[in-house]
Amino acid sequence: MTIGGGILLFVIGAILAFAVDVDIPGIEDNTLGYILMLAGVLVAVLSLAATRRRHSTVAVTRDASGREAVTERHTDSTGGPVV
């Protein structure tokens, strides 16, 4: 799931906890809503932590005769090369 999925779970949980009076046998009235809200927060936080940011660097060099060489380097958030 992504951040959007976590937000969706949180919103559905908030609606169940605060706006709707649901009578589910075996579960307290608001418990399901609070469980979904907690799950939504956990999904959003974990998806943020798992997001890898990529960075690209381009270098252009010229030699004495005017020829150009372009070098590109792609790295992720850990500093390692992107495979």
- The ranges assigned to domains in the chain are 3-50, 53-83
Q: State in Å, rounded, how far the first CA of the chain is from the last one.
A: 23
Q: How confident is the model at residue 7 (pLDDT cuts 50, 70, 90)?
A: very high
The residue ranking higher by pLDDT, 54 or 6, is: 6
What is the C-alpha to C-alpha distance for residues 52 and 75, in angstroms, rounded to an integer?
Answer: 10
What pLDDT digit, counting tens, does each position of 59-80 carry?
889 988 888 898 888 877 665 5
**Model confidence at 82: pLDDT above 60:** no
What pLDDT digit, counting tens, does each position of 20-56 carry?
887 778 887 788 899 999 999 999 999 887 766 777 8
Would you state the pLDDT for residue 42? 95
Tell me whether residue 30 is exposed, middle or buried, using C-beta atoms within 10 angstroms of its C-beta: 0 to 12, 13 to 18, 19 or more.
Answer: middle
Residue 43 in tokens: 């999904």
| C-alpha atoms less than 13 angstroms from C-alpha of 48 in its C-beta half-sphere | 9
Q: How many helices (DSSP H) and strands (DSSP E) are in the chain?
A: 2, 2
